[in-house]
Amino acid sequence: MDAPALSSQITAVTVYQTGARVERAAPLRPSAGEYPDSVRIPGLPLSLDDRSVRLRLETDPAGAAVPVAVSDLRVGLELSGPEPGLAPPRNEELRAARRKVQRLESHIAQIEGMSAHLEKLEPPPRPRGAYGSPPPPSPAAARLALLDFRGSQLEAIEEEIRERKRELDQAREELHLLEHRHRQASTARQAREHELRKSVIVRLRRIPEGPAVPCRVIVEYLVPGARWAPGYTLRFDPEYRHAQLAMRALVCQASGEDWNGVDLTLSTAEPQRWLELPELASLRIGRLQQPPARIGWREPPADTARLFADYDRARERIAAAIPVAAEPTEEPEPEPEQERFDEEVEQALLLDAAGEPELTSVAEPVLTEEITPGPDDGFLGGAVAALPAPPMAAAAAEPSSPPTRVKALHAKRLRRVKAREKPSEPEAMGEVRAPDELLDYGNLRLGGIDDPERGKLRPARADEWYLELLSSLHVEIRIDVLVAIRMAQEKAARIGTREPPPAYAFPTPWQDFAHAYAAEAPVDVASDGNFHSVPLLKRTAETELRHVAVPRESPEVFRFVTLTNPLPRPLPQGPADLYAGDDFLLSSTLRTVAPGGTEELGLGVEEAIKVARNTRFAESSGLMGGRLSLEHAIRIDVANHLPQTARVEIRERVPGSRHGDETVKVELTEVEPPWESFHQTRSPIEGSYRWLVDVAAGGSRSLQARYTIQLAAKHELVGGNRREP
């Protein structure tokens, strides 16, 4: 297959919950007004899913009619050449740094060994003379010279060791730096000479109408090993009426190819999901009709065995020509039916031999297995080697006495032919359902004459197709291609098992609906398996600031901002960095916000607003001591030191009695200004009220409330009659 290779470039990527869809574009230009019959798009990762490959043609410039059509599309393997712009397959700088560290360590160990040997060098002991005689002379000069030599050599060796250790420390620091860069670098690199890459092979068909204009081949495919998690940045204006909402995402991928300058789209959908559409059964009145045949599928003919009848007869003739040792016993006289059968076999053998050249070879025939009838129509089963011509004696043998084995073969064949000719009972016609793999005509293979399923189409295995394409490129490999592909897919799929970074969450469909978020500018994502922050979009959102205080529990005033989603799609859950202009406030978590919905975010304590709460209590009893009245007064003062008016929400609580309890009564006597009942969604509390007041810049407000608790004079409230601290 001499198909020219097209240089392609990644233009767009869609990242799903797990995995990504990559779109590549390759220019296709006619040569002398003609397009090639087939083209190749090489350099694709091994981890791509072959079944997900899609292809379309676009004219350049867009709008004109496409003068060529795609007739076939296949995914193959090849050994890709060097690709410009990618790192080399091996980091030679890192390998050189490691060798340098090993060399210095070995040199230092060798020098330390020499130092140990020198330390063992000692002058010989002073000689001893005979008893009663003066001591012999001792060579003091030689002994001192030896000691001086040892000392000078040890000093030189220690200095060299110190110098080599300094070099070793520097080499180790360089090695650690290179290893760190290597870990952070992309996994996309040039392939080694023995590594494989996938390619897409496209067959083209010229459309007679229209001129030959330049086109673009757009290839789309799915790869595992990609995930994303959303994050946000909110910048409020000084009055907290608007905010710049910037949506970003952490994207990680290990597909084996870098995404440089691509149009990125992030989706909350799954890349592949099986859905069953409901089938509405129709009600018909009338005669039962056969269901329509499935488009693209036809039942195979029932007499496919006749296609190989001549081949089987030739093999039987060769088997009949092989001499068989006769039994010493006498053969019984053939019956009339057997004689007629022998005549039919004899005529068949004569007819088979008619018109064929005479066999003159004298080589001895060799069979690898015993010839036995096969399971279908008496075919010869088993693997039979190429049979040479029979000897002259066998060729001259009289055909009137064929071997007994051939007789049995023909008898079995005649019985099956008669059984086929016998009319069978009509069977109920059912719907013919063909598997999808049998409708992929380009991937079907016809079994050979020695195949047990000969004459039948079967889907080709993936390794068969890959090896066919490699052989067409004159490439021979000795590895299991399926294992190599499976390893690449598993390596990329490990990204799907990773946990998101702290405070981040992987997105999911909102109310069973998936949404996509397109980046407003091209982005780069390296194939290193690490999370990279990429910008997506920026919008202006409406916000509303309010201050909430619960002076009964704390004197602090908290700021809350209500954010309105400016997008026509939901905002997935993710962390949010909050800024007031250029000043960083805090980090919070933005829960999933519906399209056009609102979300409340806390901004911490507002130090410029002060709240003070004072209470008074009075206890009085009625005449004759029948009832006891407990009067509680609450006064709250709010002071605003902000340069603008602040809207403050003050929350209070009034105790209540049990339902149906007439012994204790709670009555509100005075509230200034009026408040409203308040019911919080989470952890609701009975008897909750709130004031919503606007406090002018530099001003203050006073809030008052009074309530009375009445109960029998002989009773006392649990915990004391005074309910306010």
pLDDT tens-place string over residues 293-316:
666 666 666 676 677 777 787 777
Is residue 639 within 8 A of residue 700, CB to CB? The reply is yes
What is the rounded distance in angstroms from the CA atom of residue 3 to the CA atom of residue 37?
A: 8
59 assigned to some structural domain: no
**What's the total number of domains in the chain?**
3
Q: What is the pLDDT of residue 434?
A: 61
**pLDDT score of 242:** 92
Unique residue bearing structure tokens 């499935």 = 294
Q: Report residue 116 as tokens.
A: 């140990």
Q: Which tokens belong to 506?
A: 């992987």
- How many C-beta neighbours within 10 Å does residue 445 have? 15
Least confident piece of the model among 32-46, 62-76, 425-439, 526-540: 425-439
State residue 405's pLDDT score. Answer: 46
Instruction: Please say whether the beta carbons of 260 and 524 come within 8 A.
Output: yes
pTM of the model: 0.60
Distance CA 387, CA 111 (A): 75
pLDDT of amino acid 15:
95
Is residue 681 a part of any domain in this protein?
yes
The model's pLDDT over 374-386, given as tens digits with 9 standing for 90+, comes to 333 333 333 333 3
The pLDDT value recorded for residue 278 is 77
Q: What are phi and psi of 214, to 5 degrees?
A: -60, 145
185, pLDDT greater than 70: no
Distance, in Å, from the CA atom of 122 to the CA atom of 143, rounded to the nearest integer, reads 9
In a domain, 174, yes or no: yes
- State how far the Cα of 709 lies from the Cα of 619, in Å rounded to an integer: 10
Rounded alpha-carbon distances, angstroms, from residue 362 to 87, 168, 394, 532: 65, 80, 10, 77
Give the closest residue to 700 by CA, choosing from 605, 612, 615: 612
- Which pLDDT belongs to residue 352? 42
What was the pLDDT predicted at 374? 38
Question: Does 83 reside within a domain?
Answer: no
Closest CA to 599 of 633, 629, 566: 566
Instruction: Tell whether 277 is covered by a domain.
Output: no
Lookup: tokens for 227: 């995930």
**Residue 580 · residue 540 · CB < 8 Å:** no
Is 147 a member of any domain?
A: yes
Is residue 103 assigned to a domain? yes
Pairing verdict, β 226-236 and 523-525? unpaired
Most trustworthy range by pLDDT among 226-230, 424-428, 653-657: 226-230
Give me 117's structure tokens: 């040997």
Within a domain: 585: no
| pLDDT value of position 380 | 31
**Each residue's pLDDT tens digit, 615-633:** 888 888 765 556 788 888 9
Tell me the percentage of the chain whose pLDDT exceeds 90.
22
The beta strand positions in 121-225, using DSSP E, are: 197-206, 215-223
Mean pLDDT over residues 174-194, rounded?
A: 63
Domain that holds residue 682: 609-712
